[in-house]
Structure 1
Amino acid sequence: MRERNKEDIPEQEAKLQGQIGETRKIVKRGNL
């Protein structure tokens, strides 16, 4: 599914989503 998303969305959006994903991971760790 990740590969499909990467192909569908532009590189910039992919980068933004990647950053958001990393931030979410950090937030989840912080909450835990």
Structure 2
Amino acid sequence: MNDTFFTEFIILAGVVGAILAFLIIKRWREE
């Protein structure tokens, strides 16, 4: 595994995690 793929995977996982966290917090505040 090369470092470029690993770095892009971490960045992608961070973006997806941030979006999921934003949606969960938004839904939690509405209730």
TM-score of the superposition, structure 1-length normalised? 0.67
* Corresponding residue pairs, total: 24
- Structure 2: 5+ residue runs without aligned partners? 26-31
Aligned Cα root-mean-square deviation (Å): 1.4
- Structure 1: 5+ residue runs without aligned partners? 1-8
Runs ≥4 in structure 1, deviation > 4 angstroms?
A: none
Higher relative contact order (Cα pairs below 8 Å, separated by 6+ residues): 1
Q: Percent of pairs identical after alignment?
A: 8
Structure of larger gyration radius: 2
TM-score of the superposition, structure 2-length normalised? 0.69
